[in-house]
């Protein structure tokens, strides 16, 4: 008499894999890895594009304002830094309620508005060229350039990591995730493992 005993070692593994893939764990792994790639990309841009003595670091702020969340089957990366979309997509800024743009040009005025300063001169304007300046009364230093014409920001795709760089950053984390879940919960060897 021949007796065949079949033991299902794949069933528990497959049920756990299905639960992990259908649930949020894998999406959280991907979200964290993607967020970390965006943060490291912004930090690299911050070092490359900003002067160390300037207090306002646009890309450093973008790095700190980057987060992720899982919503159903989607992973959403958010960059809560005003102006990041304009730098990436490009576009034109037009005046609405004001008559002039005040563009910070000195280290101490970058990241601030003219209203935040005391002791500025009234704008010195040339209406023919539609340009001007605002000075610090004490030092005579130009803190803001003034202009009336719309400002066009060119599209800059280098502001965000490329798809290839993003996938390369995510892949090892996904592989690690599958490596962790491929062994059965009881510690015995699972399918394909010895």
Per-residue pLDDT tens digits for 128-146: 888 889 988 888 899 999 8
Percent of the chain, pLDDT > 90? Answer: 32
- Model confidence at 120: pLDDT above 60: yes
User: Distance between CA atoms of 46 and 61, rounded to whole angstroms?
Assistant: 9
3 state DSSP class of 23: coil
**Residues contacting 91, CB < 8 A, separation 6+:** 152, 153
Region 171-180 average pLDDT: 84
Q: What is the pLDDT of residue 13?
A: 57
- The pLDDT tens digits for 65-97 are 999 998 887 889 999 998 899 999 999 988 888
Q: What is the band of 98 on the pLDDT scale with cuts at 50, 70, 90?
A: confident
User: Distance between CA atoms of 90 and 61, rounded to whole angstroms?
Assistant: 19
Tally of CA atoms within 13 A in the half-sphere of 35 that contains its CB: 19
Angle at 53 between CA 157 and CA 110, to 5 degrees: 60
pTM: 0.71
Region 162-186 average pLDDT: 80
Lowest mean pLDDT among 2-6, 23-27, 38-42, 99-103: 2-6
Per-position DSSP letters for 39-88, written without gaps between them: HHHHHHHHHHHS-TT-S--HHHHHHHTEEEEEETTEEEEEE--TTHHHHH
């Amino acid at each position: 008499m021949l007796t065949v005993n079949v033991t299902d070692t794949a069933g528990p593994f497959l049920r756990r894999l299905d639960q992990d893939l259908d649930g949020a764990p894998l999406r959280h792994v991907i979200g964290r890895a993607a967020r970390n790639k965006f943060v490291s990309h912004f930090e690299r841009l911050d070092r490359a594009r900003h002067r160390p003595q300037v207090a306002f670091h646009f890309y450093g702020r973008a790095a700190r304002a980057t987060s992720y969340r899982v919503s159903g089957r989607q992973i959403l990366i958010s960059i809560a830094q005003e102006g990041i979309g304009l730098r990436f997509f490009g576009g034109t800024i037009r005046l609405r309620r004001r008559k002039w743009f005040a563009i910070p040009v000195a280290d101490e005025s970058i990241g601030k508005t003219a209203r935040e300063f005391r002791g500025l001169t009234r704008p010195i304007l040339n209406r023919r060229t539609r340009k001007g300046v605002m000075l610090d009364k004490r030092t005579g230093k130009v803190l803001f350039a003034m202009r009336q014409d719309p400002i066009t920001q060119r599209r800059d795709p280098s502001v965000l990591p490329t798809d290839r760089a993003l996938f390369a950053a995510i892949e090892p984390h996904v592989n690690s995730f599958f490596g962790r879940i491929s062994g059965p919960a009881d510690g015995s060897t699972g399918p394909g493992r010895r």
